[in-house]
Structure 1
Amino acid sequence: MLNLVVLAGGSGSRLWPLSRQLNPKQFLALTNAHSTMLQQTVSRLKGLNIGAPVIICNDEHRFLAAEQLRLAGEDTARIILEPMGRNTAPAIALAALQSVAGGEDDMLLVLGADHLISDVAAFRETVSRALPLAEAGKLVTFGIVPGKAETGYGYIQKGAALDTGGFVVERFVEKPDYGTAQSYLESGDYLWNSGMFLFKASCYLEELERFRPDILDACRTALESSAKDLHFTRVDRGAFSACPEESVDYAVMEKTSSAAVMPMDAGWSDIGSWSALWEVSTKDESGNAVSGDVIQQNSSGCLVRADHRLVATVGLEDLVIVETKDAVLVAHKDRVQDVKNVVSQIEADGRHEHLNHREVYRPWGVYDSIDNGHRYQVKRITVKPGAKLSVQMHHHRAEHWIVVSGTAKVTNGEKTYLVTENQSTYIPVGQVHALENPGVMDLELIEVQSGSYLGEDDIVRFEDKYGRA
């Protein structure tokens, strides 16, 4: 059976301030207003005879992934949680080991969760052409037919043509300078390295055993000691932390004699920067790609994204402007690769804008930190129907809840009662409490926190339906 394996563990720091550590680009709607990159990835093979998708993601993204898969109609997806990132070779090993442990030798189609494929029909056709290669024991990588000299991608040199289609991999090449990239383009012998693969689970594990048995042993131990948690498989933290960090290219593909490459021309992009997003976006007659409330005057070649307020430009050329609730980026399109340096500076300065947005998603809903100051913080909280926050207490803060709409079921010490629209309640410091939405519509409330310390780590959980510590 063909199984889809989606690698969803990246951080996407080059797309800051939209992409954040706790809400990276694969969970954002970048190229489609109605679906995220992850949702688009799992939908590409809908209607084909494939098994439930396997998603590999970081533990801290588990509820984002589960909710987006549910909304995409993929309730049966299997989600493997990595306690920390160890690159692509171990991530794929976890999926392959899980496959063979179930007594199957599935064909694994490995895709990144943050890639754009604009021609889905061509993508499916290329995958179909690659299946005989993988059935014959080849480790197939998909090489993108280059449309220009690109220095941001690695390359694959084609070798001899294979009878079953595709080519032997002659060699993998690191990201070249512009002159070298131009020579690759002119030769016609090179393809962009897409990071997409197709192979039997057993074939990948055999080659990993041959070249990197240390990775395989660590992953096998981590999976054997894993625990089931709701929709998730939690691999063992201690065993997985001992696993070397290595990409599948370095660990296997550059060493194996079974590597094959299948050319693909399907409108692929890894959306690795703001300039890459500008290239694939719809543009006006002046070459501007605009999203949100934007007024343009005598500007050209710009990407402007306004998520929460009016952004006006006058006389600008080839700039990227991205506005969020708590940060604004202004960069020249030629320098957007340096955005990652801004993220590093934010982290080094002890700030938090690289971690999350003002709006923070939780398994029960979302909260927006709308104001804060010395000894106080104000949040707007939305709780989904039937959802419940954990039974908890705080050592350093009290909370005052004002219901804006819906009905709240409140546990406050020994008492449980309902709070409805325009009513409020008070939770003292140290009081065990819980908040639940018993209704059929969203519960919205304003929470005013006051106290000596207001950090999110001042939570002692006694009971949680979502399995959080």
Structure 2
Amino acid sequence: MHTILLSGGSGMRLWPLSGSLRSKMFLPLLPAPDGGTESMIGRVCRQLTQAGLDESVLFVAHQDQLAITRRYTGNKFPVIGEPHKRGTFTAAAYGALHLYSAGKARPEDIICVAPADMYADEDFFRLFPQFPDILASSQAELLLLGTQPAYPSDQYGYIVPAQGGTEAYAQVLSFAEKPDIAKARELIEEQALWNCGVFAFRLSFLLSHLQRMGLPADHAAFAAQYAGLPVRSFDKEVAEHSTKAVVVRHKGEWSDLGSWDTLAARLDSPLTGEGGLWGECRDTHIVNELKVPLHVIGVPGIVAIASPEGILVAARKEANMIKDILQEHSVQLPRYGETGWGSYTLLDQAANDSGLVLTIKLSLLPDHALLEMPCLHSSKSWMVVSGHGEVVLNDSIAEARTGEIFTMVRGDRHGVRAFNAMKLIEIRTLEEQDEDHYKIYDS
């Protein structure tokens, strides 16, 4: 069985920590077995290894998140990048055709598709190795994994199984996509399950589906059509039209941690970062990425979240409203981003007579490099704040230590390699003609 993990998501429900550049699965907030913390994607990688699935894993990420996905998976798994975001069906097909065209998967092989951004117990992943036998014994064309709902939710889709069946699986009767709370209660009374977004099928099943859609089975040809493909979800494109689908029931813990309320419930401490909770602050959590203290006094049931992108103070149950609020307001230049080489923080932006001046902090990981690139702006300066490395400037290599300053002008090729952890302050001057190059750095 080949396991394809889809990790191309982004979202605003965990703003200001998550956004278009940093998905929730990269947030290193969850308690880890060693007493430290880990990200959601790191936790999933660990659990897949424990379940003996690590040799068959392929990650499909959006090309903008290739480097950061490799970084947070420890470069232990193959990662391919889809050229555009076209939904879970298209991403799953992209991954499956990669395996097929490379000769790594045959039509009779089982493909399992799952999201990389989920939080589940170890028993959840121990169900995966059972999928090939269940598909064979049930003679189903599609297998889904559902979990017993912990409460009525309007944030998840539901799978309604047939009554009876075997202990291992049940036939699928119908689906309900994110119903209102009243309908969710009715579905739970019908023994409906939350849809975990996990699907298993023979590769030949997907190849036949692509053929009926008039899409190629060759990976390169499929990729060439990617830009013109519509957004398609696997649920709506495949699952809801299948007449031979079964669902495997998981009875343990599962969540997509898609809100501050659900994420806060998984944190070891009510305080992450600088600050404090004082007085009656039951069920209140602080997550502070800033280097300034954040204090909450006598306010129960809230989240107080601070990052370079902004500050959110909200009732835990109401924090999801931030997604709608942000959609109604223009999005500013992202102030924080993580990359394969480290991270950057926009400290200041100021207009002058000729354009815009950006002040950016760069944090490079040991033995990582910001690869050589041309200067696309009027000018750029780097001052080394800490650490040791080397700077390449127009084919010349110079040692870079604390206090060193390097200046580039338009067209200069430049890059930096960190021997140990480095921090730099960048001053970038942009003119009106540079408006197409306002993006701070690629991931």
- State TM-score, norm by structure 1: 0.81
Please point out which of 295, 309, 312 is paired with 1:329.
312
Unpaired runs of 5+ residues, structure 1, are 227-234, 284-288, 461-465
- Tell me the equivalent position of 1:279: 265
- Tell me the equivalent position of 2:195: 193
Query: Which amino acid in the other structure matches residue 3 of structure 1?
Result: H
User: Any conservation in 2 of the 1:396–1:453 contact (CA below 8 Å)?
Assistant: no
Matched, 1:81 2:81: yes
Tell me the percent identity: 24
1:261, CA displacement in angstroms?
A: 0.5
1:21, CA displacement in angstroms?
A: 0.3
Distance 2:53 2:400 in 1: 49
> SS at 2:314's partner residue?
strand
Aligned residue pair count:
426
User: Any conservation in 2 of the 1:7–1:110 contact (CA below 8 Å)?
Assistant: yes
Query: Which amino acid in the other structure matches residue 382 of structure 2?
Result: W
For residues 367-425 of structure 1, the C-alpha deviation after alignment (integer angstroms, 9 at most, x for no partner) is: 33233323433223234455443433335422233223344433444644334333323
- Tell me the equivalent position of 1:127: 128
Please point out which of 108, 118, 132 is paired with 2:111.
108
5 Å-filtered alignment, 1:127-276, equals 127-136=128-137, 137-138=139-140, 139-163=142-166, 165-187=168-190, 189-207=191-209, 209=211, 213-214=213-214, 217=215, 220=217, 223-225=219-221, 235-236=223-224, 239-276=225-262
1:344, CA displacement in angstroms?
A: 0.9
* 1:261 to 1:418, Cα distance in 2 relative to 1, 3 A: same
Matched, 1:42 2:41: no
Unpaired runs of 5+ residues, structure 2, are none
Distance 1:452 1:100 in 2: 48
User: Any conservation in 1 of the 2:372–2:416 contact (CA below 8 Å)?
Assistant: no
For residues 143-175 of structure 1, the C-alpha deviation after alignment (integer angstroms, 9 at most, x for no partner) is: 111222222222111115445830000111122
Matched, 1:306 2:288: yes
- Tell me the equivalent position of 1:93: 93
Supply the RMSD in Å over aligned alpha carbons: 3.0
User: Any conservation in 1 of the 2:388–2:419 contact (CA below 8 Å)?
Assistant: no
- Tell me the equivalent position of 2:337: 360
> SS at 2:283's partner residue?
coil
1:453, CA displacement in angstroms?
A: 5.5
Distance 1:49 1:416 in 2: 44
Query: Which amino acid in the other structure matches residue 428 of structure 2?
Result: Q
- State TM-score, norm by structure 2: 0.86
> SS at 1:14's partner residue?
coil
User: Any conservation in 2 of the 1:90–1:245 contact (CA below 8 Å)?
Assistant: yes
Query: Which amino acid in the other structure matches residue 330 of structure 1?
Result: V
Distance 1:405 1:280 in 2: 35
> SS at 1:373's partner residue?
strand
1:190, CA displacement in angstroms?
A: 1.1
> SS at 2:304's partner residue?
strand
User: Any conservation in 2 of the 1:18–1:25 contact (CA below 8 Å)?
Assistant: yes
Distance 1:377 1:140 in 2: 51
1:65, CA displacement in angstroms?
A: 0.8
> SS at 2:48's partner residue?
coil
Distance 2:229 2:155 in 1: 28
1:337, CA displacement in angstroms?
A: 2.8
Matched, 1:448 2:416: no
Matched, 1:27 2:26: yes
User: Any conservation in 1 of the 2:161–2:172 contact (CA below 8 Å)?
Assistant: yes
* 1:451 to 1:59, Cα distance in 2 relative to 1, 3 A: closer
Q: Which stretch shifts more, 365-374 or 167-176?
A: 365-374
> SS at 2:208's partner residue?
helix
> SS at 2:293's partner residue?
strand
Distance 1:174 1:384 in 2: 42
For residues 413-462 of structure 1, the C-alpha deviation after alignment (integer angstroms, 9 at most, x for no partner) is: 464433433332332x225231332x6323333323345359685499xx
Distance 2:59 2:48 in 1: 14
1:23, CA displacement in angstroms?
A: 0.9
1:322, CA displacement in angstroms?
A: 1.0
For residues 7-56 of structure 1, the C-alpha deviation after alignment (integer angstroms, 9 at most, x for no partner) is: 11111221111111011112222423532211222221214155341111
Query: Which amino acid in the other structure matches residue 80 of structure 1?
Result: I
- Tell me the equivalent position of 1:418: 399
Distance 1:269 1:184 in 2: 18
User: Any conservation in 2 of the 1:376–1:454 contact (CA below 8 Å)?
Assistant: no
Matched, 1:345 2:328: yes
* 1:365 to 1:191, Cα distance in 2 relative to 1, 3 A: closer
Matched, 1:393 2:374: yes
